[in-house]
Amino acid sequence: MVNIKLVLEYEGTNYYGWQIQPDVPTVQGQVQEALRKVLNREITLVSAARTDRGVHAKGQVVNFKVSQCLPSVQLVRAINSILPSDIRVKKAEQVPDSFHARHSARCKVYQYFIYNHFMISPWFRRFSWWFKVPLNCELMTEAASYLIGKHDFSSFQNKGSPSSSSVRVVEKIKINKRGFLINIQLRADGFLYKMVRNITGTLVEVGRGKISPEDVYEILKARDRKKAGPTAPPQGLFLWQVFYPVEKTN
């Protein structure tokens, strides 16, 4: 048996998330069906993250085991010739048998995009949260600083999370604004269910002046989802990159 790692990117607009579900289109379902046709056998993929409906990915990582496989370049070309145009395999490689896309991950990076203007460009409507009220990024950055480090992030976790622990280590939250586009980058050892979108929604409440940066610290310590801000919509979220111990994170 060989263990194959794939790196994928996709636009999540037309899919009910990553994880396969009956009677609805999912990214996992599309990729597994393409692999079935290429390899002439059923394949089950293990993913680094289960992105939600409408969420995108630039660097989703998956792996699967199979008795024999095509060379990497041929495999990538064959899969992409079958996949719909909004899903692509960027890379394929054989990895050690011990590699597991989810369990082997050292950290993950998500990016969230907000289009902060009274009128949204058509080019960004599928890939950002259109927010008309002006946002103060300096206040948002100050608020984000309270979330850096090892904490219980229960206040930012939606119900239905499969995780047994709500403790995570957030390594970085960086907020940049270029023109009308605000980018929030989060890097952590793992993320809870809708954690990024809930943090984003809370930071937006700070940016619009509804709550203070110091309030975010109190929200974190409350360990109560009801205390935090709204869940940001899915279309602004991207799974950007997944890092593993053998890779550099700079």
Question: What local confidence, expressed as pLDDT, does residue 247 receive?
Answer: 52
Q: Which domains does the chain have, with CATH numbers?
A: 2-95 (3.30.70.580), 107-243 (3.30.70.660)
Question: Is 187:109 a contact under the CB 8 Å cutoff?
Answer: yes
Structure tokens at 247: 């890779």
The two tokens of residue 198 are: 């809930």
* Angle of the 27-39 helix axis to the 72-82 helix axis, nearest 10: 120
Q: What's the pLDDT score for residue 162?
A: 72
Residues pairing with 46 in the sheet: 63
Residue type, 84: P
Predicted pLDDT of residue 160: 72
Strands (E) located in the chain: 2-10, 46-47, 56-66, 87-95, 107-115, 129-130, 149-152, 167-178, 181-188, 237-243
**Residues of the chain under the 70 pLDDT cut:** 246-250
**Among 35, 113, 137, CA closest to 79:** 35
Secondary structure letter of residue 124 according to DSSP: G
User: What is the pLDDT, as a whole number, of residue 228?
Assistant: 97
What Å distances lie between residue 42 and 62, 88, 171, CA to CA?
15, 19, 38
- 17 Ramachandran zone, left/alpha/beta (phi>0; psi -120 to 50): left
| 52 included as an active-site residue | yes
DSSP letter, residue 53:
T
Give the Cα separation of 204 and 178 in Å (integer): 17
Nearest to 144 by CA among 219, 67, 72: 219
pLDDT at 159: 83
**Tokens coding 192:** 């809870």
H-type alpha helices, 83-232: 137-144, 195-207, 213-222
Per-residue b or e along 2-20, where b marks 16 or more CB atoms closer than 10 Å to that residue's CB:
ebbbbbbbbbbeebbbbeb
| Tokens found for residue 141 | 């950055």
- Rounded CA-CA distance 61/95 in Å is 12
Residue 22 CB burial class (10 angstroms; 0-12, 13-18, ≥19): exposed
Q: Which of 52, 189, 215, 224 is catalytic?
A: 52
* DSSP state for residue 226 in the 8-state scheme: G
Q: What is the pLDDT of residue 250?
A: 44
